[in-house]
Amino acid sequence: MRNLTKELCIAISDDNTDSVTRLLDEGAPMIPEHFTLATQEKRYAILNLFLDRGYDINIDVNRAIPSAIVYALDDMTLLKWFLKHGANPNKRCYIRDCTPLSLAVLEGPFEAIKILFEHGGSSSAQGQLLHYAAMRQTRDSFAVLEYIYNKDPEANASNINKLLDQDTPADFQMNFRAGLGTPLHYAAQVGSLDSVKFLMEKGGDPWILDPYGRTACGWAIYCEQEHVAQFLQSSRNSMPSDTENPESKSISIVA
């Protein structure tokens, strides 16, 4: 028995538009794996063919990837093609409020982040961008964090001490076992001292506990980010003696 799905994958990899057309006419399914492969291979004619036949450019790739535009973040020409054809930079994925813009902020080129904002990317309402900026592990991580914060300082000031997924209780309950932190937790985890200092200057509280009772300092120690751990410990030692116990600031999630 023929496997049309496999044949279509081969045709896409070979950039054989005629074969792709024939296989679709024969009933081969248009599934996210095919569209993603065409995106990764930069097969523009095949991408257009899928769209002409009604494929939804914003369909989920899987539970954690909101759409195939995520695979275009490293190619500005392809990224602009997606946006021109209706890709939504604010489309959330299934498991949490994580959008293509969130993933660009996490690990995409700075230029891609700016392009997504120019095409409707939301700076505050969606995507938990401050958290993803704090997770970033690139040489420009602090510059991106500062850029994201300054996009909407008022909204980010209100989110700076929230755990990831805190505003969506169903997502929080589904994901908390993986470990959810505040932006400071993530900045400490990746060892960005500049980001840690910046977040604290903006009101970030280093003594908020994650669901397992760990502070940002605890994350830094666990991840062997000694320079960050030392800074946070010294900031605790310099606190006034009548300050609230810094190890007791847990966050409750209301369903």
Parse the chain into domains and list their residue ranges: 1-55, 153-255
pLDDT at 199 over 90: yes
Indicate the pLDDT class of residue 124, thresholds 50, 70 and 90: confident
Which amino acid, one-letter code, is at 248?
S
Residue 252 C-alpha from the chain's centroid: 24
| Residues 7/27, Cβ–Cβ less than 8 Å | no
| Residues 228/219, Cβ–Cβ less than 8 Å | no
The answer to whether domain 1-55 and domain 153-255 are alike in fold is yes
Looking at residue 116, its pLDDT comes to 98
pLDDT at 252 over 70: no
Closest Cα partner for 101 from 91, 232, 196? 91
The whole-angstrom separation of Cα 144 and Cα 130 is: 10
The whole-angstrom separation of Cα 232 and Cα 17 is: 57
With vertex at residue 133, the alpha carbon angle to CA 129 and CA 137, rounded to the nearest 5 degrees, is 150
Mean pLDDT, the chain, whole residue set:
93
Looking at residue 168, its pLDDT comes to 92
What digits encode the pLDDT tens for the residues 35-78?
A: 999 999 999 999 999 999 999 999 999 999 999 999 999 999 99
Residue 84 C-alpha from the chain's centroid: 22
The whole-angstrom separation of Cα 19 and Cα 4 is: 11
What digits encode the pLDDT tens for the residues 207-244?
A: 999 999 999 999 999 999 999 999 999 987 766 544 44
Looking at residue 59, its pLDDT comes to 98
DSSP letter for 71, please: G
| Residues 212/202, Cβ–Cβ less than 8 Å | no
Looking at residue 55, its pLDDT comes to 98
The fold of 153-255 is 1.25.40
The whole-angstrom separation of Cα 196 and Cα 194 is: 5
| Residues 32/59, Cβ–Cβ less than 8 Å | yes
pLDDT at 119 over 60: yes
| 188 token code pair | 């400490």
The whole-angstrom separation of Cα 158 and Cα 71 is: 31
The listed CATH number (3.40.50.300, 1.25.40.20, 3.90.199.10, 1.10.150.20) that belongs to domain 1-55: 1.25.40.20
Looking at residue 125, its pLDDT comes to 77
By the 10 Å C-beta count (0-12 exposed, 13-18 middle, 19+ buried), 27 is classed as: exposed
pLDDT at 164 over 90: yes
pLDDT at 157 over 60: yes
Looking at residue 243, its pLDDT comes to 47
Looking at residue 237, its pLDDT comes to 73
The whole-angstrom separation of Cα 185 and Cα 121 is: 25
